Structures are given as structure tokens and as C-alpha cells.
Amino acid sequence: MARLQLKEGQAMLVSRAHQEENSQIKIKGCVIGGEQIVVVAGPCAVENEEIMKETAFKVRGSGAHMLRAGAYKPRTSPYSFQGLGEQGLKILARVGEEMNMPVVTEIMDAEDIPAVSEYADILQVGARNMQNFSLLKKLGKINKPVVLKRGMSATIEEWLMAAEYILAGGNNQLILCERGIRSAEPWTRNTLDLAAVGMVKELSHLPVLVDPSHATGVRSLVAPMARAAVAAGADGIMVEVHPHPEKALSDGDQSLTPKGFSQLMREIEPLARAMGRRLR
């Protein structure tokens, strides 16, 4: 039986056999899955309003389209900074509105769906929750775009099946995001799997973003991997930017400075054009 078939002659919702043309997810003025390479940028976590504003101002100035930051943080240790919660959501929403940028933030608990939906434009399911099927089922019932990150060691099939949980619930505003998989390589945090991007674009109509920050965990590799993502056919990138990475409460090692981000945007632009797409 062909991939992504439910049974002979019945294709899964996620598959190109079910929908041939690319899905386009419209969020305020932005379209993910269209001609434009969409850039989502921001700090790992909402730390306070000042840093959030400074980051937003600068990444917008360099051409970022959307803002990202976590209010609920999935941290390995219970003693690490867990995020500002609803207070963080409010800061993010205010800054997004002020800067006229849609905002993306992580949802970790189904209980928080109402609050996160109120403040955010896109709800993100993190790698650790990719197979939290209870959460996926509930996200299938809302009328908000969702970004589904690939799990730590998920196969492409498992990732697409997780997406199918959301589509099957009735929510087709779905965006995938490749963020690296576990490997034995110790010099990078994860191994960015760009072939998965190529494979998903072939098998599915859903838009695919790439997160080169979590995928590598190494600041100097973010730009090369962002460029490679565009060349591989990704529809956009999600990048961590912090005005003072050395003081960041989390993920400082992989965060670009605003200046580094500006340089990244200049590097991506000609590649987007070479791919027949546009950055602005």
C-alpha cells in the first residue's frame, strides 16, 4: 500500500493524494506555504517586556514577519526557569500588536488552550509533545493555526500521523516544523534532517518550517542551516534571536544577536530568489 494511505484508495488528510495543491495558512497579513519565505524570530522565552520589545523592534527592522517566544517552557529540569505563564502571554501579545507582527508561542497543557488562543496567533506544539495525542485531539477542535514540531526522534511517518490527528479533528490550519532529531553527534544539539523537509513537501500539502536554532544549538551554524533550509524547499524558518544572548535565561548559546539575524536575512534573500521565491 502506498504511503499515507488509510486503506486502498483512501488517502490520509495529510497527503498530497488527498489534496494536491499546497495548503496556505493565512495569519493576519502573512501567508505560510505561499511564494514568500516566512521568517519567525524572537527569544527562546518571554523574559520581560523590555527585552521582548527590543528584540521585536530589531527583528522587524531586519525583515522578520512573525514573532516567537515561549511563555510556558518545557525544561528538562523542574528547577530551571519555567516561563512567565499568562503574564508572558500578555507581554507577547502586547508587543506583537504594537509591532504589528503575528505571534507564535508554545502550548504545553490543554488547560491553557483558551488563554494561549486568546493571546497568540499560532499555537506551537513542541518536540516533546508531538505524540501527546490528547493535546493533539484538542487542538484539532480549535479554530487557530497550529505549528507541529517534529519529535526528538520521530520518524517522518510518525510526524505526519501526529499531524493527521489534528487534521482529523477538523483543524486544517496546520504548519509543520523540522527542528532536528537526536543523534550520537556531540558537537551539535540535534541533527537537522533536511531530507525530511524534501520528503514531507513531496508527500504532503502542508507547509514546512525549519528551526535551525534548536536543530544545531550552535550560533555559527544557524545561518548556514537557514540557507540550506530555504534551498531544500522549506516555506520558512523559525530563529532564536536575543539582544543579549550571554544573559538569556535559556538557549543563549544558539541565539543570534540582532546583528547576526540581520546578516542572516541578507544571506537568505538571494537564495530565496534563486528558488523562485521572495523574502519580502
Q: Which positions lie near its own copies, rule CB under 8 A?
A: 3, 6, 74-79, 108-111, 128-129, 131-134, 137, 151-158, 161, 164-165, 168, 181-188, 191-199, 201-202, 215-216, 218, 220-221, 224-225, 227-233, 270-271, 273-275
Query: Cα(255)–Cα(240) distance, rounded to whole angstroms?
Result: 5
Residue 148 C-beta: closest distance to its own copies, Å: 13
CA distances from residue 247 to 19, 41, 47 in whole angstroms, order as listed: 46, 18, 11
CA distances from 150 to 78, 108, 118, 133, 194 (A): 23, 15, 25, 14, 12
Cβ proximity to its own copies: between 53 and 137 the closer is 137
The two beta strands, 10-11 and 5-7, are antiparallel
Comparing CB distances to its own copies, the nearer of 65 and 138 is 138
Assign 3-state DSSP to the chain and report helix, strand, coil percentages, each to 5: 40, 20, 40
Nearer to its own copies (CB atom), residue 101 or residue 251: 251
Residue 132's SS3 state is coil
Minimum CB distance to its own copies, residue 48 (Å) = 23
> Min. distance of Cβ 39 from its own copies in angstroms?
16
Best CA proximity match to 118, nearest among 82, 157, 144, 152? 144
Cell numbers placing 70: 515561549
**Min CB(257)–its own copies separation in Å:** 17
Query: Minimum CB separation from its own copies for residue 273, in Å?
Result: 7
Closer residue to its own copies in complex, CB, 55/250: 250
Nearer to its own copies, 240 or 243 (CB): 240
Burial of 7 (0-12, 13-18, 19+ CB in 10 A): exposed
Cβ-based neighbour number of residue 168 at 10 Å = 15
Least separation, in Å, of the C-beta of 86 and its own copies?
14
96 vs 235, which CB is nearer to its own copies?
A: 235
Least Å distance, CB 216 to its own copies, is 5
H/E stretch holding 104: strand 103-106
Secondary element (H or E) of residue 5 = strand 5-7
Residues 218, 202: Cα–Cα separation, whole Å: 29
Q: Which of residues 109 and 118 has its CB atom nearest to its own copies in the complex?
A: 109
